[in-house]
Structure 1
Amino acid sequence: MDDDATDNHLRTTEPQADPQAESQEDPQAGDHAVVLGAGMAGLLAARVLARRFARVTVVERDELPEGEAAFRPGLPQSRHAHVLWSRGVDLIELMLPGITGKLVGAGAHLLDSPRDFLWLSPADWFRPVSGARVLLASRELLDRTVRREVLRNGRIRVRAGTPAAGLVAGPDGRSVAGVELRGGERLAARLVVDATGRTSKATAWLAEFGHPAPAVTRYDSHLGYSSRYFAIPEDPGRRWQGMYVQGRPDLPRGGVLMPQDGDRWLVTLIGNGEHAPPVRDEEFFTFARSLRSPALYDAIRDATPLSAPTAFRGTANEWRHYERMERWPAGFVVLGDAACRFNPVYGHGMTVAALAAEALAKEIRTLGPEEIAAASRRIQRRTTAAAAVPWQIATSEDMRYPETDGPPPDRATRILQSYMSRVIAGANTDPAIAARFFGVLSLTSSPGTLLDPVTMVRVLSKWRLPAAPDTADYPAHHGPPVGRAVGAERAQSRPPAAGQ
C-alpha cells in the first residue's frame, strides 16, 4: 500500500503520546524540520527543506571546527580518498550556486577522468581520453565549504556537540513529532530526517514505536584502506595529475593517488581480505611496490610523507530496506548512508547524497509542511531509489572477489559481470565506449547506455581482447621517471596471485 497517509494500519501495541511532550510542544513546530547529521547528506537535505520550512535545525553530535578545515570524528573516512563525480558536482552546484568555484579557489581540483589520470583498469590502461569530470578535495575542505554555503540560508541553524537520543511520538502515538537530545531536551518538529550515516540508530528508534527491524541486504568484500599524505615532488615530465591502479580477483590490491588542497597528494592503498594494506611506514611503501604496476610506487618513493598511514576497514555494502516496511511513521525519513551505504572504493557516497536531496526536493516542491510529514512513506521510497544504480555497481563488482560475504550472484548478475568485463576491455581501446562507461560510473548516464544496440555492437566487436591480460608497467602515453629502473624491484615484491 503506497499512499500518502503513511501509516493507516491499526496497531494493538502503540507507544502512547507523552503528555509532557504535548504540553511543551513549540507552537511553531508545524513549520520546523530537524535534520540529524551535518555530513553531506544532512546538509544538502537541510538546504532543500529550507525551501518549504520556515526553520530547519541540523543536529550534529560533533563539535564543528571553526575557521580552517579540520578532521572530526563523525567523518571517519575523511582521511581517505574521496571523489565527487560529475553528477554530484552538477547537483550541488544547482543547490548551492557558485560552490564549485569556491572549492576550486580553495585548492580543490576539477579534473577529467581518465584523461588527467594514469588509470590501470582490471583489463588495461585507459587512454588519455575525456570521460567524466571529477572533483577532488580533502573531505575536510568539502565539509567546511558545503556547511558554510548551506548556513548562508537564514532559515537553517546548527546545534553542534549535541547527540540525538531518540524520536518523540506525536499525539497519536504513531507519528514522529520531534527529537529528543541527550540530556532530555526536546525539539518539536513537523519532520525529522535521519542523516547520521553508518552510526544511525533509526532501527532501534523505530522499534520503540512498535516497528519490526527492516530487512537488510549486506555484501562485505573485506576491503581495507591505508592512507597518508605526501608533499608533491617536483617532476617537470609529469603529465598526469592523479593515478588509479586497480586490483582484480587474481591480485586484490590497488592504490589511488589524488591531488588535494594544500599542494598535497593523498595516497590510499586498497586490498581485500588478507591483502588489506598495512599501516606501518615502511610496509606502506612495500605494499605500494607490490601493485600490478610500479607507477604509484615510483611516484611516491622519493616524496616527503606529511602524515603517518591511517587505516579504515568499515567498507561493507549494507542496505537497510526501510522502503519495504509495511508501516512507516508520518514525519520521519532516513537518508544517505543511514539507509544504504556502499563500499567507498567506487566513490559514489557523496553523489548519492546529492541524488537523494534532489529526489527530496522533487517530492516536496508543491507541498506544505503538514503534507510533507504525511508523505513520509513515499518520500522514503523515492529518496532511497537514488541508491539503486550505485548499489548495483558496487555489489556486482564486489561479488567478483571470493572473499566477499553475501548472497551469491544469480545468473543475471554473472551475465552482467561478464558483459562489464568486455565493456572495460573495450573502453581501454575505444574512446566511444570509454565515454559511455564513465558516463555510467559518474552516475550521469543510465546503465542502459551500455546496453543500447550501438554500444553493444562496439563492445562485442572487441571480443578477442583479453579481459584480464598481463599489462605493461606504464601506459604507452606516459613512461616511468627518467633513469629509474623498476622491473627487477617490482618482480621481487609481487605477492603470489590469489589462490596460489
Structure 2
Amino acid sequence: MDDDATDNHLRTTTGPHAERQAEHHAGDRARHHAGDRAGDHAVVLGAGMAGLLAARVLAMRFSRVTLIERDELPLGEAVFRPGIPQSRHVHVLWSRGAELIELMLPGVTGKLVAAGAGLFDSPRDFLWLSPADWFGPVSGSRVLLASRELLDTTVRAEVLRNPRVRIRAGAAATGLVAGPDGRTVSGVELRGGERLDARLVVDATGRSSKAPAWLAALGHPAPAVTRYDSHLGYSSRYFEIPDDPGRRWQGMYVQGRPELPRGGVLVPLDGDRWLVTLVGNGEHAPSVRDEEFLPFARSLRSPALYDAIRSAVPLSSPTAFRNTANEWRHYERLERWPAGFLVLGDAACRVNPVYGHGMTAAALAAEALAKEIRTLNPAEIAAASRRIQRRTLATAAVPWQIATSEDMRYPVTEGPAPDRATRILQRYMSRVMAGANTDQAIASRFFGVLSLTRPPGTLLDPVTMVRVLSRRHLPASPHTTAYPAHHGPPVRRGPSAERGARRSA
C-alpha cells in the first residue's frame, strides 16, 4: 500500500491539524473557487468505513478529497449516528481487514487497542458452537473486536490527519452533475442546490445508495440485481461484565441450524461492556421486548450464552435490525459507464452482516482501488472508471459466495435456488466444519478462508480434501453437549455451595 511519501503532489509544510483548521475556516471561499480546481478534486459520498478508506486511498493521487456525510459528526466522540444503524450490533474485523487498514493507516490498530478494543484468536479465545459441534481450543484467525462507534471515530481521525482530506458533515448529495459531453460525471449536487465540482465522485453511501436513480437521470440503464434474503433479524443489548474468576473465554458464539435457526453472539467491547446480539431467521427473529430477551437466549442450542447473561446487569434495552439481505447491484455488467464515477462498498454489493465481512470487504475494495490508481493521474483515473468499477466490485465475490451459499441452507431464504454445484459444496463444507472443530490443520485453513485471508480454493486442495474426507465417519450435525469438553458451566455460588465451601475449609 502506497503512503504519502510516494504521492505525486507537493506536500504542505504545515501540520495536519493546522491544515484542517485553515480549510475549515476557508470552506465557503474554497467552494466558490472549486470549479477551476476540479481537475485534482475527488468527492466521496459517505463517511462509513468504505468511504473513509476510499478517501485515504484517493489522497495518494488527488490533491483534494472531500468527504460528504449526511450525519453530523461530534468531534472526537464515539457515539451512535443514524447513518450506521447496525452499529448497535456485534461487529467483527477479521485479520485481513485489520491488516489492510493498518497498512493504509499505520498505527491505527495500536490506537484502537489503547482505546479499549481487543485482539483475540478465533475460535481459541471463544466458546463457539458451530452448526456441527463445539470448536475445541484451536487457533484460527485473529479478530479485532470494538464498538463500531470506536472503530469509525478512530479510523476517521486517522484519515483526516492527511491534509488533503476534509469532511463536510451534515451535507447530503441529491444527484450527479453531468459533464458537457453528457457521458461523464463532473460533480455532485448537494441538498440546497449547491454544486460541488470534482474530477471523480465515489458513492459509498451504503445500503441507502441512490446510484441507480442517479445513473438513470444521466441516461444509463439500471443495473441488474441479484438478491438473497434469509430474513435474518437481530436483537442486541449491552450488559455489564459480571465478575467470574472461573471464566476462561473472551466471547461466545452459539450458531443455529436450519432446523433451529436461532443463535447468539457475545463479545467484549470498549467500556468494559458485553454486547449480546441474538439472531433468528423468519419467524424465529428475536423480539426487542426486554422481558423476551433472556427467554430467547435460553432457547438456543446451548444454555451457555443464557448462563453468561442471566445475572448480568443490562445497560440498554434491546435494539432491532432487520435489513440483512444479500444484494448485488451488477454495475460491472453495464455496457456504458460514466467516466468520473465509482460505487463502492455496500452501495454496490452488500452481504448478510451475520458473517462479519462488511468492514473487511470495504478494506479489500480500497486495496483494489489503490492498485488501480497507483500509476495514474486524476484525469486518467476518471477515464478508467469503468475498469476500476469492475476491479473493485470483483473483491466482493468471496464474501458473496460465503454469505449466499450459507443462507441458501435455510428454507425461508428468498432468491435463486442453489444449483447442483452449490449443493455439493454445501455438503462438503459441512464436513469441513465438522473437521475444523477438532483438527488444527483444517481449522487454520477454514478460518483463513472465513477471514478472507486465503482464497476459497484453499479448502479444495488435495491435502485439505484428504484430511476432511478421512473424517467422513464424523456426523456433520451431531447431537451437541450443553458445554464444550474444555470448559464447563459457570459455578453458581448459592447458600448451599457456600456452606459446603465452609465445611471443606
Taking structure 2 as the reference length, the TM-score comes to: 0.91
Alignment of 1:123-134 (within 5 A): 123-134=132-143
Distance 1:193 1:35 in 2: 5
Q: Is 2:338 the partner of 1:324?
A: no
Aligned residue for 1:244? 253
Aligned residue for 1:270? 279
Deviations 1:9-43 (A, max 9, x none): xxxxxxxxxxxxxx986111000000000000000
Distance 1:257 1:181 in 2: 41
Residue 300 (structure 1) aligned to one of 306, 309, 321: 309
Secondary structure of the equivalent of 2:144? strand
Whichever residue aligns with residue 349 of structure 1, its letter is G
Aligned residue for 1:362? 371
Secondary structure of the equivalent of 2:320? strand
Q: Report the alpha carbon displacement of residue 174 of structure 1 after superposing the two structures with TM.
A: 1.2
Whichever residue aligns with residue 72 of structure 1, its letter is R
Aligned residue for 2:223? 214
Q: Report the alpha carbon displacement of residue 129 of structure 1 after superposing the two structures with TM.
A: 1.3
Q: How many residues align?
A: 463
Aligned residue for 2:163? 154
Q: Report the alpha carbon displacement of residue 482 of structure 1 after superposing the two structures with TM.
A: 1.3
Aligned residue for 1:171? 180
Secondary structure of the equivalent of 1:184? coil
Residue 104 (structure 2) aligned to one of 95, 117, 121: 95
Q: Report the alpha carbon displacement of residue 483 of structure 1 after superposing the two structures with TM.
A: 3.7
Whichever residue aligns with residue 287 of structure 1, its letter is F
Q: Is 2:390 the partner of 1:386?
A: no
Whichever residue aligns with residue 183 of structure 2, its letter is R
Alignment of 1:397-416 (within 5 A): 397-416=406-425
Q: Report the alpha carbon displacement of residue 86 of structure 1 after superposing the two structures with TM.
A: 0.1
Aligned residue for 1:7? none
Distance 1:196 1:431 in 2: 40
Distance 1:167 1:379 in 2: 19
Distance 2:451 2:167 in 1: 31
Residue 319 (structure 2) aligned to one of 310, 322, 326: 310
Q: Report the alpha carbon displacement of residue 282 of structure 1 after superposing the two structures with TM.
A: 1.4
Q: Which runs of 5+ in 1 are unaligned?
A: 1-22, 486-500
Q: Is 2:446 the partner of 1:459?
A: no
Change (3 A) 1:228 1:96: same
Q: Is 2:496 the partner of 1:482?
A: no
Deviations 1:178-227 (A, max 9, x none): 01100011110000000000000000000011111100000000000000
Distance 1:264 1:475 in 2: 24
Aligned residue for 1:344? 353
Secondary structure of the equivalent of 1:27? helix
Change (3 A) 1:218 1:131: same
Q: Report the alpha carbon displacement of residue 451 of structure 1 after superposing the two structures with TM.
A: 0.4
Distance 2:438 2:125 in 1: 16
Distance 2:232 2:59 in 1: 38
Residue 431 (structure 1) aligned to one of 440, 452, 456: 440
Whichever residue aligns with residue 295 of structure 2, its letter is T
Q: Report the alpha carbon displacement of residue 346 of structure 1 after superposing the two structures with TM.
A: 0.1
Distance 1:338 1:420 in 2: 29
Deviations 1:321-373 (A, max 9, x none): 00110100000000000000000000000000000000000000000000000
Distance 2:396 2:148 in 1: 21
Distance 1:68 1:355 in 2: 27
Q: Does the Cα contact within 8 Å between 2:228 and 2:327 map onto a contact in 1?
A: yes
Distance 1:45 1:482 in 2: 49
Q: Report the alpha carbon displacement of residue 68 of structure 1 after superposing the two structures with TM.
A: 2.3
Deviations 1:245-279 (A, max 9, x none): 00010100000000000000000000000000011
Distance 1:376 1:24 in 2: 25
Secondary structure of the equivalent of 1:439? helix
Secondary structure of the equivalent of 1:28? helix
Whichever residue aligns with residue 215 of structure 1, its letter is A
Aligned residue for 1:53? 62
Deviations 1:152-190 (A, max 9, x none): 000000010001010000110110000110001111000
Distance 2:431 2:402 in 1: 15
Whichever residue aligns with residue 452 of structure 1, its letter is D
Q: Report the alpha carbon displacement of residue 469 of structure 1 after superposing the two structures with TM.
A: 1.2
Runs of 4+ displaced beyond 4 Å: none
Q: Does the Cα contact within 8 Å between 2:138 and 2:438 map onto a contact in 1?
A: no
Aligned residue for 1:15? none
Secondary structure of the equivalent of 2:396? helix
Q: Is 2:429 the partner of 1:420?
A: yes
Whichever residue aligns with residue 50 of structure 2, its letter is A
Whichever residue aligns with residue 98 of structure 2, its letter is V
Taking structure 1 as the reference length, the TM-score comes to: 0.92
Q: Report the alpha carbon displacement of residue 464 of structure 1 after superposing the two structures with TM.
A: 1.0
Q: Which runs of 5+ in 2 are unaligned?
A: 1-31, 495-505
